[in-house]
Amino acid sequence: MVTPEQNTLPQLVVLEDHTDLREEMLDYLTSRGYAVWGVGSAEALYKQLLHKPMDILLADLCLPGEDGLEVIEHIRALKRCGIIAVTARGAREERLEGMAKGADYYMVKPVDLAELEANIQALWRNLIGKSEPGAGSAVPWRLTGQGELYSSQGQRCRLSEQERQVLEELMKNPGQIVSKHALHEVLFPHAKTLDTHRVDVVVSRLRRRLRNEQIELPLRVVFGKGLAFHHDEE
């Protein structure tokens, strides 16, 4: 159960039936200072939860017995906690289903453990922020290599590859102006001629996609110079 007093590290649970991978994740997270325990099946998870705490669940989807998606849906309805799906299922439809079932983040194996920890930290800050009356979000804007954008308010949106590329370039140096020429080179590295209108089209499409998801992108256009991402703007 997440409470405002839990402002240090979360209690983690690794649900993974592959023993070697489970142990690798447990060893890494323990070395990083987390309290963490692991199980290999949904049945074992439910038994352990009767007397062990859990703030964030790291759940594989391909499990013996009850499927990982069913576990996520059950845990989401049962208690307030964070859920990160860690799975080999990488198809778009599978990712969307995982998020619909209740996963906060969806990571496809093989997973970079440092990125997994970054997701854990961001999710924990979001959970703590939401549990404190009147508290604002302390979660920074974040963009994964797979094109998932997380806003400072915890909103989530899946971007196209070009949208991800342009936003990644802008987010590398928050507050600094990036020229459209530089963005054009990132988006169209093999183009023989410079056409910044193509950059405008991608940026317009990005903004429209985020508006449709009720996400206000802190992006400023500086006439004649380029664009700048201001992460501290709401």
Task: State which residues form the domain around 218.
Answer: 152-229
Looking at residue 3, its pLDDT comes to 45
In a shared domain, residues 157 and 221: yes
Q: Residue 67 belongs to a domain with what CATH number?
A: 3.40.50.2300
Burial category of 86 from C-beta neighbours within 10 Å (exposed 0-12, middle 13-18, buried 19 and up)? buried
Q: How many CA atoms lie within 13 A of 104 on its CB side?
A: 24
In a shared domain, residues 213 and 125: no
| pTM > 0.95: yes or no | no
In a shared domain, residues 194 and 86: no
In a shared domain, residues 126 and 214: no
10-residue mean pLDDT profile of the chain (234 residues): values are 55 96 96 95 92 93 91 85 93 89 92 94 83 47 81 81 92 87 93 92 92 85 85 48
Residue 185 forms part of a structural domain: yes
Select from 156, 185, 155 the least CA-distant residue to 169.
Answer: 185
Q: CA of 155: how far to CAs of 1, 152, 208, 228, in Å?
A: 22, 7, 15, 21
Residue 163 forms part of a structural domain: yes
Looking at residue 16, its pLDDT comes to 97
Domain boundary among 80, 96, 131: 131
Query: Could you tell me if 123 and 80 are in contact, meaning their C-beta atoms sit under 8 angstroms apart?
Result: no
Residue 140 forms part of a structural domain: no
Q: Residue 180 belongs to a domain with what CATH number?
A: 1.10.10.10
Residue 144 forms part of a structural domain: no
Looking at residue 58, its pLDDT comes to 98
Provide the domain count of the chain.
Answer: 2
Looking at residue 213, its pLDDT comes to 83
Q: What is the helix (H) or strand (E) element at residue 148, kind and residue range?
A: strand 148-150
Looking at residue 45, its pLDDT comes to 94
Looking at residue 130, its pLDDT comes to 58
Domain boundary among 131, 163, 183: 131
In a shared domain, residues 162 and 202: yes
In a shared domain, residues 93 and 157: no
